Structure 1
């Protein structure tokens, strides 16, 4: 025992000098529900003095029992005792179970049987020395790659090269009381627990390290020699009337254009550089639900599907995952980013490149499909953006399904592990690209990504960008989903590029489901909340006191009628929210004899529409409720629900709302309760009434109603065109969408902010699509509209939700547009 203590002191010297480890999760006692009042024991995979000492340090910081080695001459298993599952291996020899600890574990189980009032907790603890999985066929990985069975000589090199990049990972405790069963002996239960823990440690290591890194040239060779690509090469040679050798060279060229060149060294350098970057420009990156992903990564092939706001998204998600002890994914990036020097760096960071359009190129498609399958089959996590490109309006874009289809086809073909699609919400208080987005939406040509743009970032780095929020949403378990929706999907196992008749519509449904889950996992931040309110005022200005009151209302609505369980509210008070928005220079105060006024300039106001649109779906229900009382003092609840459910199909499709109609009605009722609790609406018998227009409560109601105004105006514009123009001339779907957009642009230029959505064709296209799905309009064989008489009822419902001024200028614009088109 004395020799052991002496050895620990010797090892502790380089450990203190060279090692700085990170704890995962950040607060394991809270996140893993460790009960400090009950006995706690630790489990390490292999006997290791350095790992034992690191465990002691973290246990001390967390206030957990001091880890201790069990004395061989004592039967007592003290609180904080450490169990080692296996001996060290040396050149692949050893690694057997430690019999002494097996007997002690059986003894612990015996003690648990006698003390049923106690909960013995076995906490598995993994120690990672660096995150380098090592390269295949590399001798250097035997020296520099993490392993708990390293010799003292190898451990010294790990201290030296990986000591500042080590992790201590606590896992959820095993409740021994729940494991104990009367029909099994102590020894058999000890064996069962040991087997479970060995699998646990193996899976955790795979989730943190990933598979061995393959040589890029070997990856390309493996692609080209696969049976599927050989067949594709033969088809290419035959269809193009070229030699097999020439077709093979083309396939190699495509593979070289696509494949990543993942480098652990590059990832380490990027991690160090990005840590400095985030600390310089952001006030912090707030991550939620990462523990769920850690657990999922041990059993599933993970495909991350984040929303796409900024080029920073590529770096942010990979950085976060690496920082949280998970393998960074290989990322599908547009070929436009493959310019020097960004392209080579991104490729080494795990990016693989794809063309914006495959253009019917069957050989390129086959190579890309095979690459996706081989990555998934090897257990490498992937990331792609379902929207295809960055949103220029702040709303989620209609999903592109190409990469999702390849993912589903790879699942049909059969991957080693089940597939989990993990939606990710990424939100910024301020973004790099805000001004360039507005220029593009107004007709300016999109600037091609280049080295010059990278140089221009230097000016941007001097600004403050607030906080970033990254939320992992509810995952979609693809195998289970297909079992439920398409039970015959297993029949396609082994088939590359299988295309059953149900595939395309099913992929469409999955893509919408993913977008809805992203929107359900939003974090409300200072800029988005302030934007939502200020843009609902006539002159983008409001008294500071009134702004605080409106913010209080928004927070009350989400507390009383939360959009989803995964929607997050800010911790700050309304006054702190306003102060944060001021700090980010999105708003400013103007002195006034009757109290400060909060406002912004016109250019910034237009930028604020982007941040407002990030959270518009959260408050659309409450705003529509408020809109119902603009032109009437009272309604019954049934009348209110009847009117709003007419609009629900449009809202669900446009805003990717994860509710069915029944849930929407429940949301209406919850929001009504919040308005009543805040004395903005009142119950009067069977009627719900609003305050008189002279009362402050009506001002709150009026301002809140204006949140839905742009949406209602857009619907009104399309319906105005349908009810006026379609009856006078043959109006095609393309004409309707184009003219609606033209009207919206003129309306915005003359009477409102020249906001980005006025230029967004997708919004008008969505509305027309819902009208068709609801049989309110039909398209004839010559692509002309036939209008259902029920359309006029919907039109009246929408007009009733707008105030007199809005209705007047919309109809005025429509009349002007009608004369303009007649004259053309």
Structure 2
């Protein structure tokens, strides 16, 4: 009850003395301006005409939507929200790069900011406003899901700049018109806007594919009047700012991992909010807010137009650009590195064994100039030991100290939690892991093998491109030219000079002497999950597939494979990973029934088995002790006869 009273009192303290409406009787400035804007009036009239409806009826609908989504910045409410945010964040010390903030404030003085943030926690909605408010940025209006518009606190939040929007609006064209117009008016008035580019919290720790809704409305705004666009001249511009928020640990991760194993999502209501608030009583370390390089949205759209990229393709390119910048801005946490080491071993390790795995990773991170959260020294024994202790205290790891020295391992049913933390850093390791597989492919070439015009080196490039295509729904890759440049950088780190030719012997030498080896640590969990889905898909032959049933079957068989050690870790048994595999299969045209599709499904599974074979070879070179069996499948008819027996 103390938590309920605390939240209630904080909300009431910030609300006006009499609460009748969500917002004061006088609507916010942007709503008033829109309702009197001639261009907006023409847009509403046009919408009524296109839908064959009475204009007054459409106007009533528009006003209702504007009232629903409108927000204001009331000083008293904002101060109360900041206090409540501090209380919700009591599990963390929030670390901010003050030099970045100082530079961003200069941009804030001259431009409207569009803050596109990564979304790992509900706490993001507390961290970002509090950090900006404490540093006297212009008021920021943040888009949030209408599912969080709870009684009392929703009214409170709308007075602090929180704009509640609906997720599914495909069948509500008038709502989309109202939202698009509201966003344009906000930008015209130089308001700062913030939204999650992912559209919701990640369930895996790494960035989700970007959602284009808000970004599409922003690009419409900065492009001004276009064909069929009722808006006119003087289109405003915004500076897009990627904002990364990452945490040492999160209380809510365990709930998200339960959903990844098939549990129903807990609805956001007052009961959920009280439980969430109670979780924050226990300290979990630090939260880190960093920003990526800002860019002018209008200039970026003009650059793309000059390249012949327009419309939805241009929006997609900008969204991917934001995602890349977010990844680049996300710092490496000690928690992520320790989780990577222990997940890769999947057995108990001493602190010296953890350091042995982490040391080459730290050297690699330093060489690639990736930021480290809190400027931590990843080679420092006390730093690693503290991370082990904190992960043990939260239950992610278990420790045993009754022998000659303490050892730590991933706790029972905690693999997905540890994977969440590891995945916050996984984006910096993917190209290196793919490069290892490319080298291995070259090393396996037989003497006298027929080679493409580019020789052995071209064989490696083609393998890297194949892996990029296989994993393109899982990770954000740069353009093909950018991807090749990343791989060249990795080869320079291995060889110490530019690479103009390669032989199987040289490729093998590079693999054996390389440090660190990453393919088995980084790629195996995802490829194992893909193979589960591919195997279940191949079981359908040429027949139809029900996607929901396929996912359920994959969960069941995946658990069996985990028990049989046919997958390396339980973290691969995840609906989130299975859904990505399903998206890849759909892209390959493998979900529709048809003559010959069964053979294509079998080929997909075979490709994954062979890829995993090579990933396991990298693990063997690295001295990996995890043994995984990926036996060749029995003929489907024979398999069926055995089951009937």
Classify the TM-score, shorter chain. Answer: 0.7 to 0.9
Change (3 A) 1:225 1:701: closer
1:409 aligns with 2:214: no
Determine helix, strand or coil for the equivalent of 1:352. Answer: strand
1:459 aligns with 2:278: yes
Query: Unmatched 5+ residue regions in structure 1?
Result: 1-212, 490-500, 675-682
The residue that corresponds to 2:614 in the other structure is: 800
Equivalent residues of 2:585, 2:591 under 8 A apart: no
**Structure with higher strand content:** 1
Within-5 A mapping of 1:354-503: 354-413=165-224, 417-487=236-306, 502-503=310-311
The residue that corresponds to 2:362 in the other structure is: 555
Rg larger for: 1
1:234 aligns with 2:45: yes
The residue that corresponds to 1:611 in the other structure is: 421
TM-score normalised per structure 1: 0.62
The residue that corresponds to 2:334 in the other structure is: 526
Determine helix, strand or coil for the equivalent of 2:143. Answer: strand
2:584 to 727, 750, 767: 767
* 1:306-355 per-position Cα deviation (integer Å, ceiling 9, x unaligned): 11111111121111112223123101111111112321121111011111
1:570 to 376, 396, 403: 376
1:747 aligns with 2:561: yes
TM-score normalised per structure 2: 0.77
Over the aligned positions, Cα root-mean-square deviation in angstroms equals 4.2
Equivalent residues of 1:523, 1:569 under 8 A apart: no
The residue that corresponds to 2:70 in the other structure is: 259
Within-5 A mapping of 1:115-154: none
Change (3 A) 1:299 1:416: farther
Distance 2:642 2:438 in 1: 33
Change (3 A) 1:623 1:462: same
How far residue 419 of structure 1 moved from its aligned partner, in angstroms, is 1.8
Change (3 A) 1:240 1:623: closer
Determine helix, strand or coil for the equivalent of 2:574. Answer: helix
Determine helix, strand or coil for the equivalent of 2:376. Answer: coil
Equivalent residues of 1:304, 1:421 under 8 A apart: yes
How far residue 634 of structure 1 moved from its aligned partner, in angstroms, is 8.4
How far residue 372 of structure 1 moved from its aligned partner, in angstroms, is 0.5
Equivalent residues of 1:473, 1:566 under 8 A apart: no
Equivalent residues of 1:778, 1:786 under 8 A apart: no
The residue that corresponds to 1:297 in the other structure is: 108
The residue that corresponds to 1:707 in the other structure is: 522
Deviates more, 1:740-749 or 1:592-601: 740-749
1:672 aligns with 2:494: yes
Equivalent residues of 2:219, 2:301 under 8 A apart: no
Within-5 A mapping of 1:715-734: 715-717=530-532, 728-730=541-543
Equivalent residues of 1:519, 1:657 under 8 A apart: no
The residue that corresponds to 1:108 in the other structure is: none
Distance 2:53 2:465 in 1: 60
Distance 1:389 1:793 in 2: 32
Change (3 A) 1:813 1:380: farther
How far residue 546 of structure 1 moved from its aligned partner, in angstroms, is 0.7
How far residue 417 of structure 1 moved from its aligned partner, in angstroms, is 4.3
Change (3 A) 1:343 1:768: same
Within-5 A mapping of 1:314-393: 314-393=125-204
How far residue 615 of structure 1 moved from its aligned partner, in angstroms, is 1.3
How far residue 747 of structure 1 moved from its aligned partner, in angstroms, is 3.0
The residue that corresponds to 2:350 in the other structure is: 543
Distance 2:486 2:554 in 1: 28
Distance 1:412 1:226 in 2: 19
Query: Unmatched 5+ residue regions in structure 2?
Result: 1-23, 225-232, 446-455, 497-502, 621-625
